[in-house]
Amino acid sequence: MLSVKMSATGFSSTCFNRSCSWKVEKLSKSKKQHEGKPFVKCSMRSSDRTSQSTVRIGVLGASGYTGAEVLRLLANHPQFEVTLMTAVRKAGEPIASVFPHLATQNLPDLIAIEDANFSDVDAVFCCLPHGTTQEIIKGLPMHLKIVDLSADFRLRDISEYEEWYGKPHKAPDLQKEAVYGLTEISREEIKNARLVANPGCYPTSIQLPLVPLIKANLIEAKNIIIDAKSGVSGAGRSPKENLLYTEVAEGINSYGVTRHRHVPETEQGLSDAARSRVTISFTPHLIPMSRGMQSTIYVEMAPGASIEDLHQRLGQFYKDEEFVILLENGVIPRTHSVRGSNYCLINVFPDRIPGRAIIISVIDNLVKGASGQALQNLNAMMGFPENTGLQYQPLFP
C-alpha cells in the first residue's frame, strides 16, 4: 500500500487491494452472493489508468466520526494524501491519541483551523457541525475543491434553510454554486462542481430507491410514509445526555417527530424527480447499534403499476452502478450486509393492501450516508474512478 502511495505515477499496474478494480463488473445478484461474498470482481482496463499526481487533502473536523471514516477510507486511496487535519477540543493531539485505530497511518497532528495553511491543500472534506462550514469555507482559497458533509449547503432555498435550521444562512453566494451530491443521481453536475453538498444519511437512504420510481411515474407522489432507524454514530461524537449508554441501550427512541430537518432535504430531491411538489411523512428512530441505517418506505403504486414493474425499474436504473444493489425478489436488506461499506441495498415488497408497496433500503450511515459518498464525490470531481478507496467489503456479522 505504502509503495503505491509514494509513487504518483507508478501504481497503475498494481492491484493494491485484493478487491481493487478500475473497472468493476457486477456479479449477478443472487441471494448467495449477498451472504458474505464480494459483490464485485476485479478487471482492470489499461484505458482507465491515470497518471495524475498526488492530491493533497485537508480533513476539517478530523476528530469526529465522519472525519475518522474519511481517514480510514483514504488509507486505501493511492492518490489522495492527507496533509491537514483540524479539530477544536482535540487540536494539538496526534491522531493516535484520539483514534488509536488509525495509529498506523502516517498522518499529521490535529491542529486548530486558525493555524491551517490552505495553500498547500488541493481539496477538503468538511466534517464539521451544521452552521460552522458556511462561515469557515467563505474564507478559503478558490482553488480548493470542497465536499461539505454538513447540511449547510443542501437546501437550495435559503429561506427554507433558515426556517428548518433556525438561523440565518451565512454564505448565500456560495449556496448558488453548491451541487447536491447524491452521486448516482447527479453525477454529471458533481464532476464539474467546486463545492458539493454531501447528502444527509436519511435522505440518501430514501432518495436512492424513490427517485427512479418517481421519475418513471411508477409511484404516487402523495402518501409516502417513511419509518427510519439510525445507529448512534449518526449523532456525532460530542457527548450528549440522550446518547448515554443508559439512554440508548435496550430501547428505541423516536425523535424529530413531524419536524426533522431531513424532511425538506428529502422533499427537495423527490420534488426535483417528480417536477412537482412531493411531501413525505417521516419519523426517524435512534436504535442501539453503533452504525447502520434502515428506511422502510410505504408507497402507493401508480394505477396499473405492479411490484414487478417497480423491481424491474430499480434493477434497470442501477444495473451499471457499483454501490446501489437491488436484491433478488423476496430477499430482505439488512444493515449487517452493508456495515463498513459504501453499499446501499434495496428491495421492494408487495403490501397486503392492494396497490401499495413496501420498500426497504439500508446503508451504513457513516459510509454511503456520509464519508463514503463524500469520497465517491471527490473522486468524481477530481476525475478518478469513483470507487477508488471505497472497495471495502461489508463487515459481517
Ligand X SMILES: CC(=O)N[C@@H](CCC(=O)OP(=O)(O)O)C(=O)O
Q: Which residues bind ligand X (CB under 6 A)?
A: 150-151, 200-201, 230, 234-235, 284, 286, 369
Q: Report, in Å, the least distance between residue 36 CB and ligand X.
A: 27
Determine the size of the site formed for ligand NDP (CB under 6 A).
Answer: 30
Binding mask 208-237 for ligand NDP (x = CB under 6 A): -------------------------xx-xx
Residue with cell 453538498: 197
* SS3 call for 37: coil
> Among 21, 63, 76, 268, which residue interacts with ligand NDP (rule: CB under 6 A)?
63
Please state, in angstroms and rounded to a whole number, the distance separating the CA atoms of residues 90 and 62. Answer: 9
The answer to whether the Cα torsion of 385, 68, 39, 312 is positive or negative is negative
First-to-last alpha carbon distance for the chain, in angstroms, is 26
* SS3 call for 337: helix
Contact flag: residue 150 with ligand NDP (CB under 6 A): yes
Q: Report, in Å, the least distance between residue 77 CB and ligand X.
A: 22
> Among 94, 129, 288, 350, which residue interacts with ligand NDP (rule: CB under 6 A)?
129
Q: Report, in Å, the least distance between residue 286 CB and ligand X.
A: 5
Largest CA distance in the chain: 62
Run of H or E residues at 266: helix 262-274
Q: Report, in Å, the least distance between residue 230 CB and ligand NDP.
A: 7
Contact flag: residue 315 with ligand NDP (CB under 6 A): no
Beta carbons of 284 and 231 less than 8 angstroms apart = no
Measured from the CB atom, the residue of 130 and 194 that comes closer to ligand NDP is 130
Beta carbons of 91 and 110 less than 8 angstroms apart = yes
Residue 199 corresponds to which cell in the numbers above? 447528502
**In degrees rounded to 5, what are phi and psi of residue 238?**
-65, 135
Q: Report, in Å, the least distance between residue 147 CB and ligand NDP.
A: 11
Binding site partner of 132, from ligand NDP, ligand X, none, Cβ cut-off 5-8 A by kind: ligand NDP
Contact flag: residue 128 with ligand NDP (CB under 6 A): yes
> Among 75, 88, 287, 331, which residue interacts with ligand NDP (rule: CB under 6 A)?
88
Contact flag: residue 125 with ligand NDP (CB under 6 A): no
Q: Report, in Å, the least distance between residue 297 CB and ligand X.
A: 17
Catalytic residue check, 201: yes
Binding site partner of 389, from ligand NDP, ligand X, none, Cβ cut-off 5-8 A by kind: none
What dihedral do alpha carbons 132, 160, 180, 129 form, nearest 10°? Answer: 20
Contact flag: residue 366 with ligand NDP (CB under 6 A): yes
SS3 per-residue string spanning 80-149: EEEEEEECCCCCCCCHHHHCHHHCCCCCCCCECHHHCCHHHCCEEEECCCCCHHHHHHHCCCCCCEEEEC
Q: Which residues bind ligand NDP (CB under 6 A)?
A: 61-67, 87-90, 113, 127-130, 132, 149-150, 200-201, 233-234, 236-238, 365-366, 369-370
Positions annotated as catalytic residues are 201
